[in-house]
Structure 1
Amino acid sequence: MDATNVSPIFDFVLNHYPNYLFWIFYVLNLIFGAIAFKLGFARKLPLLKTIFVYVMLAVGTYIITIFSIFQMPITESLIIISLVLAIYRFRLHRQRKRNNSYEKTPE
């Protein structure tokens, strides 16, 4: 068994699409996945757990990038998720700021 022919999916992706296209999708998916994680995860994690999460995110992003190459809307979905979470966090920040200003005003 040849080591380069491990999986037919990987073989198809690497042989039929330009190498730069796959890596462009990978970087875009990684960036928007990291943004979605940062905006969607409420708690601060310790440093080692954060590093572990980002390493697993990089591995998982490689796998979902294969689906992006096969015309599935992975990158588009990550962009929409990031936008929705950014809007939510912005509105939450404005609401908290407004509530704090109401509490500080003397009656």
Structure 2
Amino acid sequence: MSTTLAPLSQRLIALGSMRWFLMLCALLCLVLRPEPGTGIITEGWALVPTLLAPVLAPLVVVVMLLDALMARVFMTDTAGPQRQHYRLAILVNVAIAVVVTLYWLPYYLAIGQ
């Protein structure tokens, strides 16, 4: 897998395709966020940022936090390079979950007003 002496880029690549797909979903949620106060459009491509993205963003955050939790569970039984791998996975997942949450927070706060 990865070693503690491996460059960060190699360790990020070694996170695996499922985690990278999850990060891609988080990036799409960031890109597709509509402006706070935007109404829901139920037809055409405008449906994606106004209806689907607001529904999927919290789900992506929950799945990222679940992956961080599972990485922590798996980390308890490992040592050395494998432990560093899981530690990096936890750090990346939590950091991206925080970014997505903070980016979407104004949108969700505008819904309640």
Q: TM-score of the superposition, structure 2-length normalised?
A: 0.30
Q: Which has the larger radius of gyration?
A: 1
Q: TM-score of the superposition, structure 1-length normalised?
A: 0.31
